Structure 1
């Protein structure tokens, strides 16, 4: 593999993380400071529960009941934040225009074509698992580090 490929992919991942950070900064800090349960009910993210939001609370709370036992536990209400690599993978999967659960070269464009080296099943698409694998590989290596035996597709 060329030495420029790891550098290129690392730069692409850094730019995607920077875009995500800017998008998060544009959210309402008042909403973000709410306790998790209130944040789930604050549908318009203004940091205040309106009468309409209070009236729809039961519907929202039912969605939080993950095991369907009609009871909410702390585990169901408090969500652990996703790891940065998982957030980046989810961000990249938003490019899935046809919602088939995988990314085609057309959906990613030329900018990310190097990532297809991690198409482990060689189907011409990238699944979220393959993207997460690529992101994990490049985020754990210093820029310009040699690939060795743990490079693309486990080679």
Structure 2
């Protein structure tokens, strides 16, 4: 019988609004620089990505407005809930993202946070373009059609 890992709890926090508001062009997986109790809060699933966005400062990529709730078991050494967190990518990927994000209408959006098999917190970011109202309506029609087809299959 396989030995149970300490990372068995699956953490997969998604930014559900992002796929509705943006059309993803390209996705990247990057590491995050975390402090103290932030990783424990992430493992508990207490993260919000709804208002988060990525920005370049001094040639490095940071995520802003990502809310990681304070860890409940920490005494006085808790972290700030909302702060800029550095994202770790290779130089080639950073240069590519920086040039593409300067194009009109393109932005970098955090899509999801997960814990990999080694126990490290990773973030999936996407280069995206904002959807127009008619694109959103089209996506809603497709979603409704799929739901109807599934209902018919079970009846």
Give TM class, smaller chain.
under 0.3
TM-score (norm 2): 0.24
Higher-Rg member (1/2): 1
TM-score (norm 1): 0.24
Indicate the structure whose relative CO is greater, using CA pairs within 8 Å and at least 6 residues apart: 2
Larger % of strand: which?
Answer: 2
